[in-house]
Structure 1
Amino acid sequence: MGQKLTVMLSTEGTYPFYQGGVSTWCDILVRKLSNIDYVLYSVITDPYVLPKFKIPKHALLKSMPLWGTEEPCEHLDIPFSQVYLAKKRTTPKVIQEQFIPLFTTLVEELIGLDRNPQELAQVMHALYRYFQEYEYKESFKSELTWDVYKRIVMSAPSLPAPDLYGMIQSLGWIFRFFNLLNNPVPKAHVSHSSAAAFCGIPCVLAKLEHGTPILLTEHGVYLREQYLSLAKRGLSSFLNTFLVRLISSIVTLNYAYADQVSPVCQYNTRWETRLGVEADKIKVIYNGVDDKIFLPSPSPGNAHPTVVTVARIDPNKDILTLIRSAMLVKQRIPNVKYVIHGSVAVPDYYEECVKLRDQLGLEATVIFAGHTQDMAGAYRSGDVVVLSSISEAFPYAVVEAMMTARPVVATNVGGISEALGDTGYIVTPRDAEALAEQTALLLQDAELRRTLGKAARARAMSFLTLDKVLEQHMKSYIQLSVQSDMAMRESAASVHVVDRQRIYVQQGYTLKSQGYYPEAVTQFRAAVQMLPGAASTPALLAEISECLSHMGRPDAARMELERMRMLAELYGFKIVS
């Protein structure tokens, strides 16, 4: 990879190893922002899973498996001799004097009633430094560690009394999750965490170790999702309380250390504000889709009125309510067809859905079509698109359907109402009758479908295009890198110079967003001249070129890049035209 602005994108259980909305978002971001060097730090559970997405040349993948390995260092590309010597150095005396005090503070912070993210971050950083010299497993598996852990847990305030299994299991979770502290964090100009989750830990470490600013994106609300998940797991009172406190500690840590928190909808900001995120740190960046792929098309002219759902088969998508609503619609429109495009995420739930469908006599009405590569074609094949979820953030399924000019009926969860506005119908989750009523209304009125579909496309083009998403992320990367750029620190730039460049960048983006392209060019050029060796320089040059193109001066845009090329090459930057 060239010497460009570098972003560490940290993910958890998603890109590039698993399909889904977050993975799609990551893939678009990494592929389209080709003038950024990405380091993909992927937290996964299974070390043997293969990537589902092709990694572009300007990205480097570093996977971090938490389970499935006997030795915590198996995933690290280090010689055996180094591991062996670390084990030899990790003596009982070292564990007692150096590890135990840090381990004690870590556990007390994780399970205490009060959250202190600064204290938690500092002890994690100290443990990160400790594991650079001493061995992870030797430290955790010591009898000294077990004895201390038992004492802490047994005396923890308001923590239910554990049994032996609970103590072993909970310590095992700490051992697995915090193997992240055993993994070197790469240097980057910006860290970008895709959730307020454990994948945010390497971002916090990078901030403490290298001064790297953090962008935190929230597609859902991680804490809320974990609460819902825990309610279904049937854990003991001790383990349930333990996990709630552990997850709360990690979420609070993410929020405290993020320099910018960017949820994908306004709906999520209510949780973030309640959990202590300062309002001026929150900048919503909506999901967007490629309007050149998700093109509108005339009515498909189906022989059977057709309802399309694009969603994985998962309890959160509430396919059971969708099936019940299909039965009600069929009573009014006997030849209706429901086609569900999506992979099976939870096999037991899929079997439950098939069983309900068959019990209701809908074998020929409700079709499970599986995953499709032609998403745009799937939406265009339907007369109406329906989403019956009980939990969402800002789902691509709604935005993609809008972009293809298909009318949407969806549940009022997450940011769906923000996306649809008045161009579709919103119903209460789990209300099969309301879902059926609005779906049938659209199926029986072709002119209403056409009008709403056209309005949906126009709304998506105004607010939810891929270009807008990419521009806002590039802007965020540049503004954050200005705050703490490696090149700035190396050149010992004064605080005054850094502040002035930040002002020029902000003014440039404000003017560009209002269509004042000549004035924006002036501001971006001033920012480049303040610190020509900053890692943000190539991206700012790209902004100048884009503004000149908007001004109808393509030759000037090319000349501008050529004029600046020598300056960029002087500092070792690679310019992407």
Structure 2
Amino acid sequence: MRIGLLTDGGYPYTTGESRLWCDRLVRGLARHEFDIFALSRSREQEERGLVALPPQVRRVRTAPLWAAPESRHGANKRAERGYGRRERREFAARFERLASAICTGGAASAESPEASDGFADGLYGLAALAREYGGLGAELRSETAVRILETACRTPGANRAVQAARVPDHLAFAGLLERALRPLSLDWYGDDALGAVDLSHAASGGRAALPGLLAKRFCGVPLLVTEYGVQLRTQYLANAQLAAPVRALEAGFQLRLAAEVYARAELITPGNTHARRWQERCGADRAKLRTVYPGMAADCFHAVGEGAYGGDPHTLVWVGRVEPAKDLIALLHAFAEVRRAEPEARLRLISAPVRGAEAHGYLAHCRALAAQLFPDEAADAHAVGDNPVSFEEIGGPEAPELADAYAAGSVVVLSSVVEGFPLSLVEAMFCGRATVSTDTGAVVEVIGGTGLVVPPRNPRALADACLALLRDPERRSRLGAAARARALELFTVEQNVTAFRGIYLELMSHNPVHRENADDAAAPQPFARPAESHVPGRWAAPTAARVGSGAAPSRVPGPLAVLMRDHLDIAEEGAGA
């Protein structure tokens, strides 16, 4: 079957949150063909290039949404030509419906996805306009669009924060909306692109799923949406620095888009129950939801998990990205309590390479706090030796590999106040390490009783849990073994690939493909190419078998040929009798 994989800032670029799991999925489903439709987020991402692609990836189409519309490749060739009077009237009518829905509500519900909905009417109307007359960039940035948006914000029933918007806010949101709706102007919705695939699989919600919505609208291609981090929640956090009216408008748009994606998708696969709850609150039908845990490579942790590296029994390990959401401040205060009770205790903070001014500033603050909490020991920021706290990077002299980071101690700690799916926790479970975690995101679901969980922002509780495990080696061993068994059962690449293999076949069995060039009398084809055209060579018989009185195909599966021959012999004996 032919899959159109839709990504936003991830695969097949060398950077991006979805890069690893998409690559593992594509490589694991080698019998399917993949067309990649990728939205890039920055010039730097494109300059770093693409990952090495397996042969089952037939083609890659990309669209840079960071560039000015007139310089984008992959867009409709008529994207920036001026609209005539008729087209402008049509644009104004459709954009008014969209803006009104953003400001006042009116999203489609999961129970009645076909009900009249201003957001859907405006969105698909604008997409049809772009498809017929050219792209929307100039019109979405025009004075007409800003005036329509201003009127919608003052409509009775509009959100109170939206009603407070002024001209600068309208201009700011118009720019954000134009960027978000750029996929509507791409030339991906014909028989030479998404119209030729059997299934669209969006690697996240939000903007990545927009091409899938249009492929379903224009070409009847079914849509599957996977969300390992809820896109709506991510947008809420990313927009925290915007002015209140702009933030309210952006939240209204993202909420309406999420509801539309959930209403039109054939199936939605959240990565955990935490994400599933968000989707249900946004109107996703429970009957469409099916949890599929992310697949993670366990091979590199095998030696640690099998006990080749016991780890220092007095050492706590934290692994992750340095950022305020990880709450290293609370962890350092908790370790100060641990250190007072257990003078031999150590804390190793091992992070990915720090990037960005905010991360560097936060790291400097954490180092200063460590020096303040342990003044008599004057911890060098990079040494491990006798210092109770060390700050290290993956690839450094003391932790050259990720597995070595988890092997360094006997207890792994997660102190986050905001967390989606805790990947570092799963890696610690693969390594057979006992864990102490804060109750946030999908932590409890991942741990499943194989580790200790405490409230976030509670250094005292965090310290008590760490001390309980440091002082009880048998309990550590028991919890570590249970954690490893759970991780190997639920969170491996194999279980993820197996789940999506079944989902693909299930969706195609309910959504046969209707080809425009097929005879009207012909039955719908369940795949773009007949399955028998891919009979593996190892199953083929070396010579053709005769079936009845007709000539058989030149390559018939050997075991099948034997069964058919036996069946015919029995039938002939019965006829002779």
Quick one: distance in 1 between partners of 2:454 and 2:414? 10
Measure how far apart 1:346 and its partner are.
4.8
The 3 A distance-change label for structure 1 pair 155 and 278 is: closer
Measure, in 1, the Cα distance between the counterparts of 2:68 and 2:17.
32
Residue 367 of structure 1 is matched in structure 2 by 390
Aligned to 2:281: 274
Query: Which residue type is aligned with residue 24 of structure 1?
Result: L
Distance 2:542 2:332 in 1: 59
**In the alignment, structure 1 residue 244 sits paired with structure 2 residue 251:** yes
Using the TM superposition, give the Cα deviation of residue 27 of structure 1 relative to its aligned residue in structure 2, in angstroms. Answer: 2.4
Flag the 1:453–1:560 CA change in 2: closer, same or farther, 3 A: farther
- Aligned match of 1:148: 148
Judge conservation of contact 1:288–1:399 (CA < 8 Å) in 2.
Answer: no
Higher helix share: 1
Residues 9 and 16 in structure 2, CA contact (< 8 A), matched pair in contact too = no
1:518 is matched with none
Shift of residue 404 of structure 1? 1.8
With normalisation by structure 2, the TM-score equals 0.78
Structure 1 residue aligned with 2:54, among 48, 53, 56? 56
Aligned counterpart in structure 2 of residue 207 of structure 1, from 216, 222, 231: 216
Secondary structure of the corresponding residue to residue 105 of structure 2: coil
Task: Work out which of the residue numbers 363, 366, 371 in structure 2 matches 1:353.
Answer: 363
Partner of 1:172: 175
Distance, in Å, in 1 between the alignment partners of 2:439 and 2:541 is 47
Cα distance, 1:388–1:466 mapped onto 2, change above 3 Å: same
Residue 9, structure 1, aligned to residue 5, structure 2: yes
Please give the alpha-carbon distance, in whole angstroms, between the structure 1 residues aligned to 2:553 and 2:38.
35
Distance 2:464 2:17 in 1: 28
Summarize the Cα distance change of 1:454–1:485 in structure 2 as closer, same or farther, 3 Å threshold: same
Q: Would you say 1:224 and 2:233 are equivalent positions? A: yes
Q: Which amino acid aligns with 2:211?
A: P
Instruction: Give the distance between the partners of 1:238 and 1:539, measured in 2 at CA.
Output: 57
1:215-257 Cα distance to aligned partner (Å, 9 max, x none): 1112133333433444x42x33321211121111111111111
Distance 1:147 1:458, change over 3 A: closer
Q: Which residue of 1 aligns with 2:328?
A: 319
- CA deviation after TM superposition for structure 1 residue 190, in Å: 1.3
SS at match of 2:248: helix
**Partner AA of 1:243 in structure 2:** E
Paired residues for 1:481-500 under 5 Å: 481-486=508-513
Q: Which position in structure 2 is the counterpart of 1:546?
A: none
Pick closer, same or farther for the CA change 1:491–1:385 going to 2, 3 Å: farther
**Are the aligned partners of 1:305 and 1:443 in contact in 2 as well (CA < 8 Å)?**
yes
User: Of the candidates 96, 99, 103, which is equivalent to residue 104 of structure 1?
Assistant: 96
Contact 2:63–2:72 (CA under 8 A) maintained in structure 1? no
Residue number in structure 2 paired with 1:400: 427
- 3-state secondary structure, aligned to 1:254: helix
Deviation at 1:289, TM superposition (A): 2.6
CA 1:284 to 1:567, structure 2 compared with 1: closer, same or farther past 3 Å?
farther
Quick one: percent identity of the two aligned structures?
25
Q: Does 1:42 align with 2:38?
A: yes
1:561/1:236 CA distance change after superposition, 3 Å:
farther
Deviation track 1:8-28 (CA, whole Å, cap 9, x = no partner) reads 222233334465654322222
Q: 2 CA distance for matches of 1:24 and 1:466?
A: 10
Alignment partners' CA distance in 1, 2:462 and 2:521: 60
Structure 2, unpaired ranges of 5+? 380-386, 545-551, 557-577
| Counterpart-to-counterpart distance in 1, 2:50 and 2:316 | 29
Bigger mean CA deviation after superposition, 93-102 or 201-210? 93-102
Q: CA deviation at 1:268?
A: 2.7
Q: Per the alignment, do residues 277 and 87 of structure 1 end up closer, same or farther by CA in structure 2, a change over 3 Å counting?
A: closer
Paired amino acid for 2:120:
A
> Which residue in 2 is equivalent to 1:127?
126
Q: CA deviation at 1:262?
A: 0.9
CA drift of 1:98 comes to 2.9
In structure 2, how many angstroms separate the alpha carbons of the residues matched to 1:370 and 1:442?
25
Structure 2 residue corresponding to 1:285, chosen from 292, 296, 321: 292
Q: 1:154 to 1:422 in 2, by over 3 A?
A: closer
Deviations 1:38-58 (A, max 9, x none): 233333331342247433343
Whole-angstrom CA distance in 2 between matches of 1:180 and 1:251: 15
In structure 2, the residue matched to 1:294 is 301
Aligned: 1:31 with 2:41: no
**Structure 1: stretches of 5+ with no match in the other structure:** 499-530, 543-556, 571-577
Match of 2:416 among 389, 393, 413: 389
SS of 1:328 mapped into structure 2: helix
Quick one: distance in 2 between partners of 1:152 and 1:111?
Answer: 6
What amino acid does structure 2 have at the position aligned with 1:213?
P
Once the two structures are superposed, what CA deviation does each residue of 1:296-333 show, in whole Å capped at 9, x if it has no partner?
Answer: 23263556733222211223322322232232222233
AA matched with 2:74: L
Change (3 A) 1:445 1:53: farther
Deviations 1:408-427 (A, max 9, x none): 21122222222222211111
Cα pair 1:340 1:366 within 8 Å, conserved: no
1:476 aligns with 2:498: no
Tell whether the 8 Å contact from 1:384 to 1:439 is kept in structure 2 after alignment: yes
In the alignment of these two chains, the number of paired residues is 509
**8 Å contact kept, 2:96–2:122:** no
Q: Please give the root-mean-square deviation of Cα atoms over the aligned residues, in Å.
A: 3.4
Instruction: State the match for 1:438 in structure 2.
Output: 465
The more displaced of 25-34 and 112-121 is 112-121
3-state SS, counterpart of residue 300 of structure 2: coil
What residue number does 1:193 align with?
Answer: 202
Q: Distance in 2 between matches of 1:202 and 1:138?
A: 20
| Structure 1 residue aligned with 2:107 | 115
Distance 1:15 1:332, change over 3 A: farther
Give the secondary structure class of the aligned counterpart of 2:69. coil
CA deviation map 1:139-181 (0-9, x unaligned): 3344444443433334462332322211110111111111111
AA partner of residue 343 (structure 1): P
Alpha-carbon distance between aligned partners in 2 of 1:297 and 1:284, rounded to the nearest angstrom: 29
Task: Supply the AA of the counterpart residue of 1:483.
Answer: H
Deviates more, 1:9-18 or 1:185-194: 9-18
Q: Which residue of 2 aligns with 1:255?
A: 262
Q: Is the deviation greater in 341-350 or in 186-195?
A: 341-350
> How much does 1:402 deviate?
1.2
- Matched to 2:280, the amino acid is T
Mapping of 1:325-340 within 5 angstroms?
325-335=334-344, 336-340=346-350
1:341 aligns to 2:351 (yes or no): yes
The structural deviation recorded for 1:87 is 5.0
- TM-score, with normalisation over the residues of structure 1? 0.78
Three-state SS of the structure 2 residue aligned to 1:385 is strand
One-letter identity of the residue aligned with 1:367: S
Equivalent position SS for 1:114:
coil
* Structure 1 residue identity aligned to 2:326: K
List aligned pairs for 1:448-487, cutoff 5 A.
448-486=475-513
Q: CA deviation at 1:562?
A: 8.7
Q: CA deviation at 1:204?
A: 0.5
CA distance, structure 2, for counterparts of residue 263 and residue 111 of structure 1: 28
